[in-house]
């Protein structure tokens, strides 16, 4: 049980150290996908002018922040982490109400966001250049890393706290100033992260937060000449639009869509394979960029595997993520619901066999939310749209193959390359898989989902810009430029 808010609170942008209204004085609402009548708050529908003000504020604050001692920057990141941890339960509940994921997953995300800030607070202090051996002993040659300037961070709704944290923390610790635009589906989580930095004492203008639709503010936030870098996570379509809009000298880092395969070989532990499929395909209601969307299974074990997968899928408990024992929350928005139902229809029309799920859930507890039953399709062929296009919902397509070679060919036969996994006991085949799969994250006997804070993360092909990786120590590289110094005496 949870109490619904009866009075809608309105939240403001944070520009140049002040909470302010958008210039057009227009608002939009953030709603609970488990119950669309539950409104979390109203947010500023910002426009071009607000985007410009946020960029100017970040530009003005840059010289001072770049000169701020790194130890002081690190202290602020740690204090922001303290704030997230102190408010963990409250923020986690809001996260579930705003995005729909189940409460344990929300708690994990708040914790992970705090851990990310602490990780970069520590790593940033030892991130440095190199010195080079040379013949002239009267001089030294070394590189220094310097911040870029104003960075725009644009983020999606599926990890509305932890994705912004892994962009903003490395940007700030290396001395950049930031303009942050969260997804319009989850503005409250963006605001909570911003508040954590404000409470930690971040100087004015160093982090600026603006809400509003991409159609109104997107272009201004990425095409302004003062913006030296854009760090973006979202759909491949939006990534392409941003790529076309940025000036020549603006750096971009983009983490985009996926169509992630799990290969199940005929020697696999089938119970493990089923568990990995369910966890990878249906956790977060299928709305993870690394979610398992295709299971490519050896024909010899296909029927046994599918029967077990369908049974496990039908046992999943679906409902409001705030309730005990729920395994799958609602989809994050009406748009997501329509999209998933559309793909189920497409799959059936293409001739795939819907073995379970795929229907909108209605009735007591479901009527006001965006609920769908997790779906399993079999008889899927590689060229079908449900095997090629990102659905971003709880839909698994099972494709049968006759050999290891065919499995690799099918797995690689899509435009994406974000995450891939194989289930096998055959060490040699696992090794060949690691070498041949076109994917930025590669796993053996693990879910396609999940990545470590301390390890690099990013995709190949149309899943990324293939420029700079996010996450880990590597995540700092995007936010700095190198100068080579020849220092003689």
Residues catalogued as catalytic: 255, 289
- By CB under 6 A, residue 156 contacts ligand NAP: yes
| Identified binder of ligand NAP from the candidate list 113, 116, 158, 283, rule CB under 6 A | 158
- By CB under 6 A, residue 238 contacts ligand NAP: yes
- By CB under 6 A, residue 283 contacts ligand NAP: no
- By CB under 6 A, residue 286 contacts ligand NAP: no
In sequence order, what are the beta bridge partners of 402?
none
3-state secondary structure of 318: strand
In sequence order, what are the beta bridge partners of 461?
416
Give CA–CA dist 299/400, Å, rounded.
5
| Identified binder of ligand NAP from the candidate list 123, 379, 390, 477, rule CB under 6 A | 390
| Identified binder of ligand NAP from the candidate list 33, 149, 170, 234, rule CB under 6 A | 234
**DSSP for 295-313?**
EEEEHHHHHHHHHHHHHHH
222, 246 in Cβ contact below 8 A? yes
Indicate the residue among 35 and 471 with the shorter CB distance to ligand NAP: 471
Least distance from C-beta 104 to ligand NAP, angstroms? 19
Region from 7-15, 89-97, 252-260, 348-356 binding ligand NAP, contact rule CB under 6 A? 252-260
* Sheet containing 419-423, strands listed edge to edge, beginning at the edge strand earlier in sequence: 353-356, 375-378, 395-401, 292-298, 260-264, 419-423, 441-444
3-state secondary structure of 65: helix
Give CA–CA dist 125/456, Å, rounded.
18
Residues numbered 463 to 482 that lie near ligand NAP (CB under 6 A) are 463
Backbone angles phi, psi at 375, to 5 degrees: -120, 145
Task: Please choose, from the candidates 350, 349, 344, the residue with its C-alpha nearest in 3D space to the C-alpha of residue 375.
Answer: 344
Instruction: Give start and end residues of each alpha helix (H) in 25-102.
Output: 48-66, 70-86, 88-99
Give CA–CA dist 16/390, Å, rounded.
38
Give CA–CA dist 68/166, Å, rounded.
21
Least distance from C-beta 271 to ligand NAP, angstroms? 28
| Identified binder of ligand NAP from the candidate list 274, 289, 410, 411, rule CB under 6 A | 289
- By CB under 6 A, residue 264 contacts ligand NAP: no
- By CB under 6 A, residue 258 contacts ligand NAP: yes
| Angle 186-191-195 from CA coordinates, rounded to 5° | 155
In sequence order, what are the beta bridge partners of 264?
297, 423
The continuous run of DSSP H or E covering 214 comes out as: helix 214-223
Region from 51-59, 120-128, 232-240, 376-384 binding ligand NAP, contact rule CB under 6 A? 232-240
Indicate the residue among 45 and 400 with the shorter CB distance to ligand NAP: 45
Indicate the residue among 31 and 74 with the shorter CB distance to ligand NAP: 31
- By CB under 6 A, residue 334 contacts ligand NAP: no
- By CB under 6 A, residue 214 contacts ligand NAP: yes
Indicate the residue among 29 and 241 with the shorter CB distance to ligand NAP: 241
| Identified binder of ligand NAP from the candidate list 459, 461, 462, 478, rule CB under 6 A | 459
- By CB under 6 A, residue 241 contacts ligand NAP: yes
Q: For residue 1, what are the contacts with CB-CB under 8 A and spacing of at least 6? A: none
Total residues at interface with ligand NAP (CB under 6 A): 29
Q: x/- contact string, 98-117, with ligand NAP (CB under 6 A)?
A: --------------------
Residues numbered 28 to 87 that lie near ligand NAP (CB under 6 A) are none
Backbone angles phi, psi at 377, to 5 degrees: -105, 140
Least distance from C-beta 185 to ligand NAP, angstroms? 6
- By CB under 6 A, residue 183 contacts ligand NAP: yes
The continuous run of DSSP H or E covering 142 comes out as: strand 139-147
| Identified binder of ligand NAP from the candidate list 55, 74, 189, 256, rule CB under 6 A | 256
* Sheet containing 480-488, strands listed edge to edge, beginning at the edge strand earlier in sequence: 131-132, 139-147, 480-488
Indicate the residue among 60 and 243 with the shorter CB distance to ligand NAP: 243
Least distance from C-beta 451 to ligand NAP, angstroms? 9
- By CB under 6 A, residue 157 contacts ligand NAP: yes
| Angle 41-44-49 from CA coordinates, rounded to 5° | 175
Task: Please choose, from the candidates 254, 206, 257, 255, the residue with its C-alpha nearest in 3D space to the C-alpha of residue 230.
Answer: 254
Least distance from C-beta 433 to ligand NAP, angstroms? 21
- By CB under 6 A, residue 418 contacts ligand NAP: yes
List residues near ligand NAP by CB under 6 A. 154-158, 181, 183-185, 213-214, 218, 222, 233-235, 238, 241-242, 255-258, 289, 390, 392, 418, 459, 463
């Amino acid at each position: 049980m949870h109490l619904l808010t009866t009075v809608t609170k309105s939240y403001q942008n944070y520009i140049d150290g002040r909470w302010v209204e958008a210039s057009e004085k227009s608002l939009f609402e953030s709603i609970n996908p488990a119950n669309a009548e539950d409104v979390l708050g109203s947010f500023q529908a910002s426009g071009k002018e607000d985007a410009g003000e946020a960029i100017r504020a970040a530009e003005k604050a840059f010289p001072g922040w770049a000169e701020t001692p790194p130890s002081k920057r690190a202290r602020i990141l740690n204090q922001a982490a303290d704030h997230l941890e102190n408010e963990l339960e409250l923020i986690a509940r809001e996260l579930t109400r705003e995005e729909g994921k189940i409460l344990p997953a929300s708690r994990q995300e708040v914790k992970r966001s705090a851990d990310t800030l602490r990780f970069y607070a520590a790593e940033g202090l030892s991130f440095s250049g190199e010195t080079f051996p040379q013949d002239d002993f009267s001089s030294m040659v070394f590189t220094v890393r310097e911040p870029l300037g104003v960075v725009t961070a644009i983020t999606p709704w599926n990890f509305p706290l932890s994705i912004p944290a892994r962009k903003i923390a490395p940007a700030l610790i290396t001395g950049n100033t930031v303009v942050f635009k969260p997804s319009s589906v989850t503005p409250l989580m963006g605001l909570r992260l911003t508040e954590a930095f404000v409470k930690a004492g971040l100087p004015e203008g160093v982090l600026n937060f603006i809400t509003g639709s991409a159609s109104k503010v997107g272009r201004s936030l990425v095409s302004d000449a003062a913006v030296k870098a854009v760090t973006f996570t979202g759909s491949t379509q939006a990534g392409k639009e941003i790529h076309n809009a940025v000036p020549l000298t603006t750096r971009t880092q983009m983490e985009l869509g996926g169509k992630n395969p799990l290969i199940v070989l005929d020697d696999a532990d089938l119970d493990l394979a089923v568990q990995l499929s369910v966890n990878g395909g249906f956790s977060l209601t299928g709305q993870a960029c690394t979610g398992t969307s295709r299971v490519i299974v050896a024909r010899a074990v296909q029927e046994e595997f599918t029967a077990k997968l369908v049974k496990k899928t039908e046992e999943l408990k679906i409902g409001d993520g705030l309730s005990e024992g729920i395994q799958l929350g609602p989809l994050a928005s009406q748009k997501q619901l329509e999209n998933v139902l559309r793909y189920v229809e497409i799959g059936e029309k293409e001739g795939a066999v819907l073995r379970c799920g795929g229907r909108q859930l209605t009735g007591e507890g479901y009527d006001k939310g965006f609920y769908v039953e997790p779906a399993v399709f079999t008889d899927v062929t590689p060229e079908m749209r449900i095997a090629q296009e990102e659905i971003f919902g709880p839909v698994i397509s099972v494709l049968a193959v006759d050999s290891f070679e065919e499995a690799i060919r099918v797995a690689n036969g899509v435009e994406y390359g974000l995450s891939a996994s194989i289930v096998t006991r055959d060490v040699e085949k696992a090794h060949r898989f690691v070498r041949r799969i076109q994917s930025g994250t590669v796993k053996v006997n693990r879910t396609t989902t999940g990545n470590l804070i301390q390890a690099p993360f990013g995709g190949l092909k149309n899943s990324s810009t293939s420029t700079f990786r996010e996450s880990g120590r590597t995540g700092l590289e995007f936010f700095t430029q190198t100068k080579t110094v020849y220092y003689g005496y």
